[in-house]
């Protein structure tokens, strides 16, 4: 699954949460990403995948609630339609490539976005999709325009600015951005 540094020991992530110890420093073991693990185990029934997960190095060293969360996540992945699972795995892979400050920046922008009321989220998502296609100077001109200021609150424009700042880190078909709203 994914690699990251934590407490001097190498750790892996299942989804975006710390999980399996994929090896100890000096052992030279390669770490597997979630998408690779799922590909390798996709031909197995869920029960066999659960057993394979339990046999991953370091899994039994995790707190029981973390082990259960990982089992639940595996079940959730298996219950998703293939396209949704693929998008989630792509997002997870993209997040794994980010540095810790970049991940924190993305998470902060997403928290701002999720804090908006659902109807405003749709408006912000639509504006984000439109603005991400524009060059930076044009984005800034639109964000500062009186028409845009009249359509979006200061908080919504700040959220848009935060999302646009992390835009290079967000996959283009990110699953949390709804499709264009059709009336």
The region, left, alpha or beta by phi > 0 then psi within -120 to 50, assigned to residue 164 is: alpha
Cα angle at 156 between 154 and 159, to 5 degrees? 110
**Residue 168 per-residue DSSP state:** G
Residue from 155, 123, 160 nearest 139 by CA: 160
Model pLDDT for residues 123-163, shown as the tens digit of each residue: 999 999 899 888 888 998 999 999 999 999 998 998 888 88
Model pLDDT for residues 74-89, shown as the tens digit of each residue: 898 889 898 888 888 8
Question: Which phi and psi (to 5°) does residue 9 adopt?
Answer: -105, 145
In the chain, the largest separation of any two C-alpha atoms, in whole Å, equals 59
Strands (E), the chain: 2-6, 9-14, 17-18
Q: What's the pTM value of the predicted model, to 2 decimals?
A: 0.55
Q: What is the 3-state secondary structure (H, E, C) of 78-104?
A: HHCCHHHHHHHHHHHHHHHCCCHHHHH
The answer to whether the CB of 132 falls within 8 A of the CB of 164 is: yes
Domain boundaries, the chain: 2-96, 100-169
Residue 24 pLDDT grade (very low, low, confident, very high; cuts 50, 70, 90): very low
The percentage of the chain sitting over the pLDDT mark of 90, rounded to a whole number, equals: 21
Q: Which residues are paired to 11 by β-bridges?
A: 4
Q: Is the pLDDT of residue 25 over 60?
A: no
The answer to whether the CB of 168 falls within 8 A of the CB of 106 is: no
The percentage of the chain sitting over the pLDDT mark of 70, rounded to a whole number, equals: 74
Q: How far apart are alpha carbons 153 and 25 in whole angstroms?
A: 49
């Amino acid at each position: 699954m994914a690699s990251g540094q934590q407490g001097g020991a190498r750790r892996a992530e299942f989804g975006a949460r710390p999980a399996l110890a994929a090896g100890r420093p000096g052992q030279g073991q390669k770490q597997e990403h979630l998408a690779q693990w799922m590909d390798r185990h996709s031909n197995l029934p869920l029960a066999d995948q659960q057993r394979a997960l339990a046999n991953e190095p370091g899994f039994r060293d995790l707190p029981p609630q973390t082990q259960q969360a990982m089992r639940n996540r595996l079940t959730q992945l298996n219950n998703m339609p293939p396209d949704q699972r693929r998008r989630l795995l792509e997002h997870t892979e993209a997040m794994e490539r980010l540095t810790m400050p970049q991940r924190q920046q993305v998470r902060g922008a997403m928290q701002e976005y999720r804090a908006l009321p659902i109807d405003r989220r749709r408006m912000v998502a639509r504006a984000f999709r439109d603005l991400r296609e524009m060059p930076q100077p044009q984005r800034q001109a639109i964000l500062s325009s009186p028409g845009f200021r009249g359509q979006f609150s200061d908080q919504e424009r700040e959220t848009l600015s935060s999302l646009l700042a992390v835009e290079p880190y967000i996959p283009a078909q990110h699953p949390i951005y709804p499709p264009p709203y059709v009336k």
